[in-house]
Amino acid sequence: MLSQRLHEAMNAQVNAELWSAYLYLAMSLDAEAKGYKGFANWFYVQFQEEQAHARIFMNYMNSRDAKVELLPIEPVPASWNSILDMYTHTLEHEKKVTSLINNLAAIAVEDRDYASVNRLNWFIDEQVEEEESAREMIMNVEAVETNKYGMYMLDKELAARVFNVPAPLAASAE
């Protein structure tokens, strides 16, 4: 059973993950509107990942007899000045999510809830990957941003990115 404090914080995290999904969907749509189908695909895969993260939290909460209460999702921005702006926003957002996950882990440690600590360790590792991916994309875009052919090639490369079901969801589907 989750403590009331951890239950409320995890419920808020479900909302944060769904907001993140909505943010990446908006980025995907904006990138596509700007003619960048590959970048749109990259952000669409992010959208799918964030939905999966929310589902992992929901599944975990349900397994601990903690009712999930869906909260309203606040509006997200609808457009960005450039692809680089999207990735800069992505990195800042992922840093915020890392902070939220770290807060959940701190509560779980305080509660001596080691099952939750174990589940949150997966998210901690995931956030390291998310921030690293955003930094890498910033470097890639900065390297080619003023070169139309470079942006074209990077866009084509990103069109091949696919969504992979996260391990905690893949395990629950078996």
Give the per-residue pLDDT at 174.
52
d(CA 65, CA 82): 44
Residue 155 belongs to a domain: yes
- Burial classification of residue 45, based on how many CB atoms lie within 10 Å of its CB (0-12 exposed, 13-18 middle, 19 or more buried): middle
- 116-143 per-position pLDDT tens digit: 999 999 999 999 999 999 999 999 999 9
Residue pair 5/16 in contact (Cβ under 8 Å)? The answer is no
Domain with 44 in it: 4-161
Of the listed ranges 4-18, 72-86, 94-108, 148-162, the least confidently predicted one is 148-162
Report pLDDT for 172. 66
The answer to whether position 38 is within a domain reads yes
pLDDT tens digit sequence for 1-35: 899 999 999 999 999 999 999 999 999 999 999 99
Q: How many domains does the chain have?
A: 1
CATH code of the domain covering residue 129: 1.20.1260.10
Q: Flag whether 170 is in a domain.
A: no
Distance CA 73, CA 50 (A): 14
Burial class (CB in 10 A: 0-12, 13-18, 19+), 76: middle
Assess if residue 166 is contained within a domain: no
- Over residues 88-109, the mean pLDDT reads 98
Q: How confident is the model at residue 155 (pLDDT cuts 50, 70, 90)?
A: confident
Nearest to 12 by CA among 98, 60, 90, 72: 72
Count of C-beta atoms within a 10 Å radius of residue 41: 20
For 98, the 3-state DSSP assignment is: helix
> Does residue 92 lie in a domain region?
yes
3-class state of residue 136 by DSSP:
helix
pLDDT band at 90; cut points 50, 70, 90: very high
Q: What is the pLDDT of residue 24?
A: 98
- The predicted pLDDT at position 153 comes to 87
Q: Is residue 171 part of a domain?
A: no
- 39-69 pLDDT, tens digit per residue, is 999 999 999 999 999 999 999 999 999 999 9
Question: Is the pLDDT reported for residue 173 higher than 70?
Answer: no
pLDDT at res. 82: 96
167 belongs to a structural domain = no
Flag whether 53 is in a domain.
Answer: yes
